[in-house]
Amino acid sequence: METDFFRALRRLPLIVTLSSAPVLAADPFGNLAAVPPISGLAEAPTPCLPADFGKPLGLAEVVDSALCLNPQTRQVWANARVQAAQVGVAQAAFLPGVSADASASRLRNEAVRGGAAYTQRSAGVDLSYVLFDFGARAASLENARQLFAAASHTRDATLQSVFLAAVQAFFQRQAAGAALEASRLSEKSALESLNAAEARYQVGAATPADRLQARTAHAQAVLNRIGAEGGLKTAHGALANVLGVDPTRPLELAPLPAAAPGAGFEADVARLIEEARAKRPDLAAAEAQHRAARANVDAAKAAHLPTLSLGMGVGRSRIAGDPGYDSSSIGLTLSIPLFSGFSTSYKVHAAEAQAEAQAARREQVRLQVALEVWNAYANLATATQSVKTAEDLLESATQSERVAAGRYRAGVGSLLDLLTAQAALAGARQSRIQAGTSWYVSRAGLAQAMGALDAGLLSSLSPGPSPARGRGE
């Protein structure tokens, strides 16, 4: 008759099947829970909401959609979860390992039972636990924790990059639309000049050269308008790509007021650089990677040292027709590495070299942060001054074109003066559009260089409620 032990053993596969799913899905150390979900501009754990592309999108909606839908954000989020799980793997090394084994064999031996076939069954449970390893597990755990910190900071840096790319794509799309409208105005003015030149030519008040010049100017205006239409399509595709959707999806943007930079942008660049070094997530990631490399050196050195482990086991073996017997064991195992073909020594050298490389990379990122802040501040200062100058240029060019058109219609001005004024006005319109776009993008660029891109910046670039605030209402 089979014992209760063997009856339970028969049910073991069913027990494993029923319990494996929750065990595999568990997060007993809480590491995966430390990775917040993708939430766009909203504060975690608020999940991303589906984007409504059927209505005009403001800057905040564009940025929120990009953070939620762009594949880069999902990739770095998954990478952070990978490293969080690796921390759990390192923590598991501090716990005992338990394994169970069972076997059933059909044997035939001439020396046993006269050569008759018999069945032998055995089952057992073993426990192993590393008691002391001179810091090898602790070093591995520290390495995993620092790599997780680096992955988290890399995720934040990528979110900042996607944030900035969405801002740039939004304003480039707005600028492309404004450039197309400006080119249409220039084409309309060129057509009016052509019609006026044709009328004057018919009455003998203009020369054939005037009519040809007017036709040339009109053809150039048409060509510029066609180029602006192509630029709008390109900007639309770039915006769709940042949003993580196909370029064929229609996207309508809410209108923006003209850029109006204030006077509060003067700052101490050295102070800005120090603030950026304290906030930039990519520099924090480089710091964490260097600490992880140093921990890996400690782990490699600990591989030279002995390991003390505890082992325990219980089992039962039974041959059909016999009562069977139980067995148990407990003992300590001291493992002392004596010689491994110098592989351990070279692993230490490799880990030390890797740590030096990470230290150099950290310094490189530190210098790059300073350069990016310097350039972003210079670009913003230039863009701020350019907006005012471009406004003055547009106002002057508008008045000049109006005067030249009036004089030509009155018959006291030349067509060359009118075409020159119209060309200057077209250039002034484009300069004003470019200056405004550069200011918006430079403002966001400085914030990104400072590691300070957030929903608060969006309200200063584009007044109005952001999705992060709207979700909480």
- The Cα 147–Cα 403 span in angstroms is 68
User: Which of the four pLDDT bands, split at 50, 70 and 90, describes residue 201?
Assistant: confident
- The Cα 437–Cα 424 span in angstroms is 20
Return the SS3 of 29: coil
User: Which of the four pLDDT bands, split at 50, 70 and 90, describes residue 262?
Assistant: low
Mean local confidence (pLDDT), 85-113: 85
Burial tier of 344 (Cβ tally within 10 Å: 0-12, 13-18, 19+): middle
Q: Any idea what the Cα angle at residue 412 is, between residues 409 and 418, rounded to 5°?
A: 60
Task: Please indicate whether residue 295 or residue 468 has the higher confidence score (pLDDT).
Answer: 295
pTM of the model: 0.81
pLDDT at 321: 67
Structural Rg of the chain based on CA atoms: 37
Beta strands in 297-443 (DSSP E): 307-319, 325-335
Return the SS3 of 97: strand
Mean local confidence (pLDDT), 196-206: 85
Neighbours of 167 (CB within 10 A): 27
Whether 231 has a pLDDT exceeding 60, the answer reads yes
Which domains, ranges and CATH numbers included, belong to the chain?
Answer: 73-97+135-305+344-464 (1.20.1600.10)
Backbone angles phi, psi at 354, to 5 degrees: -65, -40
- The Cα 355–Cα 292 span in angstroms is 8
User: Which of the four pLDDT bands, split at 50, 70 and 90, describes residue 163?
Assistant: very high
Mean local confidence (pLDDT), 54-78: 91
Whether 176 has a pLDDT exceeding 90, the answer reads yes
- Please state, rounded to an integer, the average pLDDT across all residues of the chain: 85
Amino acid identity, residue 241?
Answer: N
pLDDT at 267: 66
Per-residue pLDDT tens over the stretch 399-450: 999 999 998 888 888 888 999 999 999 999 999 999 999 999 998 999 999 9
User: 36 preceded by cis ω (within 30°)?
Assistant: no
User: Which of the four pLDDT bands, split at 50, 70 and 90, describes residue 325?
Assistant: confident
